[in-house]
Amino acid sequence: MNIGELLLICISAVVAIAIIVWIVSRSRQNTPMSMPNQPSWERLAELDTRLASRDEVERLLQAGQKIAAIKLYREETGASLREAKDAVERIADGRSADIGFSAQEAGVSAQDGQEQEEGGEGLTSEIRRLLRAKQKIAAIKLYREKTGTSLREAKDAVDRLEAEIRYL
């Protein structure tokens, strides 16, 4: 084998590797690397309107049968597993599907559904006020103080409320 043939083989190998790398990188660009963290609040609200037997889902949750509750939710609404899991967890926590605040967190009375006043303003109203004033960090801190949730949960809840404000 002479030097010319060896050089031709090396160049062919480099070109083949470059083509393979290019094909792999193009295929990865067209597929999402990860699932979004949570379904949108609009999607969860839409799915909740399809749920005919919410009482049965709540009964299953009280009986400690979370998987059966998720399965029932999926069957009735056509939700993905992720959406059904998130929705059932919201039902278990008593949170509203549209913004992810529980009735207690939002300052809503369970008896009459009216917003209670917490220091002159309900939690939801106060967070909206802070978001409109471009004080998102303060809104997250307030949410954490009032609800005792983690930083991640508080940020997600405030993000959902911020998205709702943008759509109004």
- Same-domain status, 81 and 130: no
d(CA 148, CA 141): 10
- Same-domain status, 93 and 56: yes
- Same-domain status, 92 and 49: yes
- In a domain, residue 161? The reply is yes
Q: Look-up: residue for tokens 């939801």?
A: 124
Q: Is 95 helix (H, G, I), strand (E, B) or coil?
A: strand
- In a domain, residue 134? The reply is yes
- In a domain, residue 127? The reply is yes
- Same-domain status, 91 and 139: no
Q: What pTM value is reported for the model? A: 0.40
Number of domains making up the chain: 2
- Same-domain status, 62 and 93: yes
- Same-domain status, 94 and 43: yes
**What is the crossing angle of helices 41-50 and 151-167, to 10°?**
80
- Same-domain status, 94 and 118: no
Q: What is the pLDDT along the chain (168 residues), one digit of tens a residue?
A: 788 889 999 999 999 999 999 888 877 665 544 444 555 666 777 777 788 888 898 899 888 899 999 999 999 888 888 888 888 888 887 654 444 454 444 443 333 333 333 343 478 888 888 888 889 999 999 888 888 888 888 888 888 888 777 765
- In a domain, residue 156? The reply is yes
- Same-domain status, 122 and 167: yes
d(CA 106, CA 142): 12
Domain of residue 144, residue span: 114-168
